Every structure is written in structure tokens, then in C-alpha cells.
């Protein structure tokens, strides 16, 4: 399987990706816990059906020490006992923010729950991360970027 566009070989795509990758670096360096960041990326990617991002972020999370139990239960986080209340709040915000195209919205309850667990900087990072992973998901799904070959750290 080949992607519809070579996002890694196009000069225009390269410029665009460098800018959104820079945004990702800023968010990644925030005080939002790294484990929470990966959970958010994985959950949005599951909802959006982005195999490329699922391949990348599950492997990155595992390399960073995330357990296979937690990785396997992200899609069923509501029923799983392995996530903290803060992680659950982040996952709820992720789901609501990712499902906007389905006619949904982010409820006041979901926002208040996240705000109980995260400070303003962390909330800013969380909102930015949800928006950013949805951008990556849409790019990869539109061009049908193949999944399965990612190796942690291969993009620097």
C-alpha cells in the first residue's frame, strides 16, 4: 500500500509539517504529563481511524514505559480501572473534542472535570494537543498513509 501523496517527499508538505511539528514540540515540552499526552493521541487516533498515528503513538508510549494493559484498554477507558481520574478527564475531553464533526460539543461538565485536574498551562496544552492530533489524523487518513513501519525516534 502506498500513500496517495508523498507527504515526506513534497517540499510544500515538508514546510507545512515542520510548522505543525514545531507546535507539537511546544506542547510536548509542556507540564502536561507525557503519559497523558500519549493517551490523548492514541484515543483521538482510534476514533479517527488513523493507523499511522496509532502505530506511532502506541510504540512511543510503550518505549516510554506505558504498560500493554493500559494501551490495550484505552478504547474502553470508561470501564477500565487502570486510568487515574485526571487521565479520565483528559480522555473525556479528547473524545468530545474529536467528535465535534459528529454534531457533538464539549460539555461544561467535561471542561470542569478537566479543570479540576489540570492547571491553565496544562489545559492549554491539552486543548492544543487534541486539536493537533486531530490535524495529523486527518492528514494521514486523507492520504491513506500506511501504518506498521514506524520505529520510535525515527522522526527525530
Q: Judge whether 91 lies within some domain.
A: yes
Residue 117, pLDDT score:
98
Q: Judge whether 121 lies within some domain.
A: yes
Residue 11, pLDDT score:
95
Residue 155, pLDDT score:
85
Residue 104, pLDDT score:
86
Please report, for the domain that includes residue 72, its CATH number.
1.20.1290.10
**Side-chain-facing half-sphere of 6: CA atoms under 13 Å:** 4
Residue 59, pLDDT score:
97
CB-based contact 141:116 (threshold 8 Å): no
Residue 89, pLDDT score:
98
Low-confidence ranges of the chain (pLDDT < 50): none
Query: Could you give the number of structural domains in the chain?
Result: 1
Q: Rounded to the nearest 5°, which phi and psi values hold at 64?
A: -80, 0
Q: Judge whether 124 lies within some domain.
A: yes
Write down how long the chain is.
Answer: 156
Residue 102, pLDDT score:
87
Residue 130, pLDDT score:
98
**Domain, as residue range, for 123:** 29-143
Residue 153, pLDDT score:
87
Residue 143, pLDDT score:
97
Q: Judge whether 130 lies within some domain.
A: yes
Q: Judge whether 149 lies within some domain.
A: no
pTM (2 decimals)?
A: 0.96
User: What's the pLDDT tens digit per position in 110-141?
Assistant: 999 999 999 999 999 999 999 999 999 999 99
Give pairs for 133-137: CB < 8 Å, separation 24+: 133/40, 133/41, 133/44, 133/45, 133/53, 134/44, 134/48, 134/97, 134/98, 135/20, 136/20, 136/50, 136/53, 137/44, 137/45, 137/48, 137/49, 137/50, 137/53
Amino acid at each position: 500500500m502506498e500513500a496517495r501523496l508523498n507527504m515526506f517527499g513534497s517540499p510544500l508538505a515538508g514546510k507545512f509539517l515542520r510548522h505543525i511539528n514545531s507546535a507539537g514540540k511546544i506542547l510536548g515540552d509542556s507540564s502536561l504529563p507525557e503519559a497523558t499526552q500519549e493517551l490523548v493521541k492514541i484515543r483521538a487516533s482510534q476514533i479517527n481511524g488513523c493507523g499511522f498515528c496509532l502505530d506511532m503513538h502506541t510504540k512511543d508510549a510503550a518505549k516510554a514505559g506505558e504498560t500493554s494493559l493500559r494501551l490495550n484498554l484505552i478504547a474502553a477507558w470508561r470501564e477500565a480501572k487502570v486510568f487515574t481520574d485526571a487521565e479520565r478527564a483528559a480522555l473525556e475531553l479528547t473524545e468530545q473534542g474529536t467528535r465535534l464533526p459528529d454534531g457533538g460539543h464539549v460539555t461544561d461538565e467535561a471542561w470542569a472535570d478537566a479543570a479540576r485536574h489540570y492547571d491553565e498551562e496544562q489545559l492549554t496544552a491539552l486543548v492544543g494537543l487534541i486539536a493537533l492530533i486531530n490535524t495529523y489524523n486527518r492528514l494521514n487518513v486523507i492520504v491513506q498513509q500506511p501504518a506498521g513501519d514506524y520505529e520510535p525516534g525515527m522522526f527525530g
